[in-house]
Structure 1
Amino acid sequence: MMRLWTILLLLFATAASAQPIRWQEEYPGVWKGTFGKPDNYTLLSAAGATPQAATLERLQSVDFPLPKMEVHAELIDGKTYLRFPLQKNEQIYGLGLNFQTVHQRGKILNLHVDHYGGKDNGRTHAPVPFYVSSRGYGVLVNSAQYLTYYVGTGVRKDAKVPAEVKDRNTDKSWNSRPYSDAVEVYVPTEGAEVYVFAGINPLDAIKRYNLFCGGGALPPKWGLGFTQRVQKLYTADEVIKEVAEFEEHGFPLDFIGLEPGWQSKAYPCSFEWDKGRFPNPEALVKKLANKGVRLNLWTNPYISPESPISKAIEPFTGSHTVWNGTVPDLNHADAKCILAGQLSRSQIDIGISGYKIDEVDGYDYYLWPDMAKFPSGISGIQMRQTYGVLAQKLTDSLYRQQNKRTFGLVRASNAGANNMPYVIYNDYYSHQDFITALVNSGFCGVLWTPEVRGSKTGEEWLRRFQTVVFSPMAMINAWSSGTKPWSFPEVAEKVKYYAQLRMELMPYLYSEFAKYHFEGTPPFRAMVLEEGFQGQTKASLNNQDLETNPYLEAVNKEVKDQYMCGEYLLVAPLFTGESTRKVLLPKGNWYDFYSGRYVGNGEEIVAKPEDDRIPVYVKDGGIIPMTTARLHAPAAGEKVNLIIRHYGEKEGMYNLYDDDGLSFDYEKGAYSWRRIVLKRNASGKLEGDISAPDKNKPNTIGTVKFEFMGQ
């Protein structure tokens, strides 16, 4: 009898571990899969994002993109193992904000919120467990645990497409990484929740993922202007003086960032003003507002013992401290209420425009350990994976209560926070890797800025400045260096040209962010997502030293130093010491942004920009709505004159977005799309037209002028 019970228990355990994934189509092209007993607290539940259901329902219906019988889940020793099939020549992108690699096939990644330490190993500021395939589908594992991804590395004996056995002694094609036909994921829980997003191409799958997570962030217009973060321990008078210097030099400025010294105590933080440096913060905010400039505050969430809320919030904080400051449990209603009250009373109610939320990512040795406890019952690991998201969510909610949009900075994010109005930054300062991060940001629903801090030469200063102009946030972070846009006189006028260009491009950039929100299209994205791009070629093994690397292998060439900015612009940054560079153009005619001159079609060109310009190209038929140079973003409801550029020979169409630029009224329908059309008339000449504004909809467009570049 005992033996019979043992056999029955084994059979039951085997059946339980081999149960199938339960699939349900949530929206066209979006499937939810459930296996075992997933955690109740997940990345998506922490973010609280609401899918854009109406938009998702209108999308084209597509079939499940993978053979369901080959999507495998198994429970082993109380842990879940997932397996998703891969085809030959299929490439994988995403899996977080990576800084050095775009292609993730062949990688092992331990997805863990952390500062970026110089290696793409999964420990990063936004380790989003979402990947997209070159075959046009995406997969999200919705877990707030540390996840390990084996992206085409493990080779199973029962693989559907087994690796070919080769003899290293005689076969030059021998490879240290045999072919693997699966993505395998280790989830340290008794179940998993998985989402599969299908599309007609990889970009379409990403759009569905973004829409499912609430759509991308739509910043206020002023958030797309220029920002300067002032030096450490500035006073109110020094802030006013710096704003005046920007105006005297004719440099745009929309918001000033204070470093943590605005507080009476920092790291841990008091969340109250230092009365010596800022005796009347409300008057300062008003004075800057009269000049068209807002104020952003740098802080972290850790509570100083000398903070006015320290005693009240202490019962609702974690078991461990950070820099001797208590850690508010941002999943606990009382902790959120107390912290929100202090932020509102001291800062938001007097007109502070936003925050820079620091140190919610890593290092391990000063953040709480994994075994830390929190009053809400959320584990230390889950809190680590979502703390940056929770901080974004709390502050965003306070601005929503006032019907005012914010746009700030944060050190950590994760899946589900796509709609949060925050841009990621870090202390790493490699210009090339900053651009790769910008390329990768479009795969995982986050925004990233390659901020400028200091430079050794005027050339480096110019090159760094040019790339922030073509990024989500145009920012100088001078908290340590004290740099200004004009700090290098030899390039000051060229820097000024690009600062003004940023303001001129605001109608285009604002429309592209609107498409991010309403349609899910990332405003900055990799070339592999551009139709007609053929940039994936094999790297050669010739002239390589096998003594140095006996396991050398051929890899796909990654295009990680050029990217798309919006629908029509291709940006190819130059780095210090470069006067020329190679650029891979997608199929179709492309034109120089500055002159309209034809440059190539589906080929590799050598860019030799004049006047130290950053190479920027526009596809045939491209329409770029611009405005005149200005020092500040338009005020709410202010009419702006447009200069609409057209490039190339093709007819074209562009949807121009319009709303008040400041409030959340667009969520209630207070917005409009104006259609810009370029067509040939009866004599074959191109003519431009813009649709009339809709009745009872925002209309901030003044006069309209068309420019035909290169003609």
Structure 2
Amino acid sequence: MDIPGAKGGDVFIFNGPTLKTALQRYNLFSGGGAMPAMWGLGLQYRMKADSKQQDVYNMVSYFRDNHIPCDVFGLEPKWQTTAYSCSYVWNPEYFNSPQELIDKMKAQGIKLNLWEHAYINPASPIFGALAGAAGDYKVWNGLVPDFAGKTASSIFADYHKKAFVDQGIASFKMDECDNSNLSEGGAVWAFPDQTQFPSGIDGEQMHQQFGTLYFQTMYSNYKKSNKRSYFNIRSLNGFASSYPVSLYSDTYVHQEYIRMISNSGFSGLLWSPEVRESASVTELCRRTQTAILSSQTVFNSWYLKARPGYSMIAIKTTAARCCQTPKRPRLTCVRC
């Protein structure tokens, strides 16, 4: 193993006699299993990226009127004035009264989750304060905060507490912290390995820790207030199985989700096989079953024109025909 700048390292071995026992011991050593908020174990629905405040109201009414259970609504990038990199400021063109939105959702028994990533746009109120506590490379012209140091973590967490957590935002979806090697239009989606951070670590080391440090920074606002939460995140590292957060990915193939559920268990982490798109009602049923039986159930419509809610009604109707007409050839449904 090559550990830059280190004279050596520790190796931890968790033995059996069975694989299950080894995993149990690893989880206990890491602090035990996660304890998410009860509402996080329900259904999360993520709005289309360009949805506006009235669209959220309409969708909530649609769910409630059709008796579709939903506990969390997620807002995608357009809720901010800038998203790549992030401003962490409500976009008045799309959400002209954020506190009204939060309060109305609360009255409907729905929590709000906000999408973001940790690359800080020059338009952000915390850009100036973090200029001296960030890496020497930018991503999308945004600062990469040095979460390994106390300064960046404190500024970032304090701002989110005052601007969002204290106002009633229940959790966050934290994107782009997995060192993606994707490049598009000449822009790279992550900082390079040679990046240097004020804390003394380089980009290669930060890539391994970035997701975990980012989560610890954000979750501290809830932990200090003794509030339960349940996050979504793109990357975590070792010994993170006690955190109330579920991993997700932008993969779309159902079989890949099934494999990832199995493999995530070997790390002790929770995995979220989002329902994003389906080629048929049958496939939608299968994807829904996978999501319902997983650690987090998410229907993600961030780019879809057709709302999954409509398909849920189709499933409900199909289930009624299937179960109430025994002589008919059985259709695939969530009840059967």
TM-score, normalised to structure 1's length?
Answer: 0.44
Aligned match of 1:55 = none
1:246-281 per-position Cα deviation (integer Å, ceiling 9, x unaligned): 001110010100001111111100111112222221
Which one has the bigger helix percentage?
Answer: 2
Alpha carbons of structure 1 residues 490 and 457: separation in structure 2 relative to 1, 3 Å: farther
Q: Identify the residue that residue 400 of structure 1 maps to in structure 2.
A: 223
Cα–Cα, structure 1 residues 463 and 188, in superposed 2: closer, same or farther, change >3 Å? farther
Q: Pick from 147, 155, 160: which aligns with 1:338?
A: 155
Is 1:367 the counterpart of 2:190 in the alignment?
yes
How far apart are 1:614 and its partner, in Å? 6.7
* Structure 1 gap ranges (5+): 1-78, 81-144, 146-186, 498-593, 595-608, 617-711
By how many angstroms is 1:484 displaced?
3.0
Offset, 1:283: 1.8
Aligned equivalents of 1:490, 1:476: Cα separation in 2: 14
Asked if the contact 2:315–2:334 (Cα under 8 Å) also holds between the matched residues in 1, the reply is: no
CA contact (8 A) 1:399 1:405 kept: yes
> Could you tell me whether the CA contact under 8 Å between 2:193 and 2:202 is conserved in 1?
yes
Candidates 280, 294, 298, aligned match of 2:111 = 294
Partner Cα separation in structure 2 for residue 443 and residue 286 of structure 1: 40
Choose the corresponding residue for 2:50, options 233, 238, 256.
233
The 3-state SS of whatever aligns with 1:295 is strand
The alignment status of 1:281 with 2:98, answered yes or no, reads yes
**In the alignment, is residue 242 of structure 1 matched against residue 59 of structure 2?**
yes
Q: CA-to-partner distance for each residue in 1:26-51, whole Å, 9 max, x for gaps?
A: xxxxxxxxxxxxxxxxxxxxxxxxxx
Deviations 1:429-488 (A, max 9, x none): 110111011011111111111111122222222211111011111111101004433433
Q: Write the letter of the residue equivalent to 2:175.
A: D
Give 2:12's aligned residue: 195
Overall identity of the aligned pairs, in %: 37
Residues 238 and 191 of structure 1: CA distance in aligned 2, closer, same or farther (over 3 Å): same
Which residue of the partner structure matches residue 299 of structure 2? 476
Contact 2:285 2:333 in 1 (8 A): no
Report how far residue 615 of structure 1 moved: 10
Instruction: State the alpha-carbon separation in 1 of the partners of residues 121 and 312 from structure 2.
Output: 42
Match of 1:441 in 2: 264
Report the CA distance between 1:192 and its aligned residue.
Answer: 2.3
Q: Does 1:356 align with 2:173?
A: yes
| Deviations, residues 466-518 of structure 1 (Å, cap 9, x unaligned) | 11011111111101004433433783306889xxxxxxxxxxxxxxxxxxxxx
**Secondary structure of 1:321 counterpart:** coil
Q: Describe the SS at the equivalent of 1:194.
A: coil
CA distance in 2, matches of 1:615, 1:206: 33
Report the structure number with the largest CA radius of gyration: 1
Which residue among 597, 603, 612 is the counterpart of 2:332? 612
2:250 maps to amino acid: D
Distance in 1, Cα, partners of 2:37 & 2:286: 27
Report the Cα distance in structure 1 between the residues aligned to 2:257 and 2:291, rounded to whole angstroms: 10
Report how far residue 417 of structure 1 moved: 1.1
Matches within 5 A, 1:58-77: none
1:644-659 mapped onto 2 (5 Å cutoff): none
What are the residue-to-residue correspondences of 1:570-609 with 2, within 5 Å? none
Alpha-carbon displacement from aligned partner over 1:114-159 (angstroms, at most 9, x marks no partner) = xxxxxxxxxxxxxxxxxxxxxxxxxxxxxxx5xxxxxxxxxxxxxx
User: What is the alpha-carbon distance in structure 2 between the residues aligned to residue 614 and residue 199 of structure 1?
Assistant: 37
State the alpha-carbon separation in 1 of the partners of residues 312 and 244 from structure 2. Answer: 34
Alignment of 1:409-558 (within 5 A): 409-488=232-311, 491-493=314-316
What does the per-residue CA deviation read over 1:395-454, in whole Å, with 9 as the maximum and x for residues that have no partner?
111111221111111011110111111111111111011101101111111111111112
Contact kept, 8 Å, 1:485 with 1:495, in 2: the verdict is no
Contact 2:156 2:217 in 1 (8 A): no
Structure 1 residue matching 2:9: 3-state secondary structure: strand
Asked if structure 1 preserves the Cα contact closer than 8 Å seen for 2:45 and 2:299, the reply is yes
Q: Cα gap change, 1:308/1:495 in structure 2, threshold over 3 Å: closer, same or farther?
A: farther
2:326: which partner in 1? none
Deviates more, 1:470-479 or 1:488-497: 488-497
SS in structure 1 of the partner of residue 11 of structure 2: strand
Closer, same or farther: CA 245–613 of 1 in aligned 2, 3 Å: closer
> Distance between the aligned counterparts of 1:485 and 1:478, measured in 2?
7
For this pair of structures, how many residues does the alignment match?
323
Q: Secondary structure of 1:438's match?
A: helix
Structure 2 residue corresponding to 1:322, chosen from 123, 139, 157: 139
The match for 2:81 is: 264
SS at 2:13's partner residue?
strand
SS in 1 for 2:279: coil
Partners of 1:372 and 1:231 in 2: CA distance: 34
Unaligned 5+ residue runs, structure 2?
A: 182-187, 324-328
Tell whether the 8 Å contact from 2:43 to 2:72 is kept in structure 1 after alignment.
yes
CA contact (8 A) 1:253 1:293 kept: yes
Check whether the contact 2:285–2:334 (CA below 8 A) recurs between aligned residues: no
Superposed CA RMSD in Å reads 2.3
In structure 2, give the amino acid aligned to 1:348.
V
Q: CA deviation at 1:613?
A: 4.7
Larger RCO (alpha carbons 8 Å, 6+ apart)? 2
Check whether the contact 1:458–1:490 (CA below 8 A) recurs between aligned residues: no
CA contact 2:319–2:335 (8 Å) conserved in 1: no
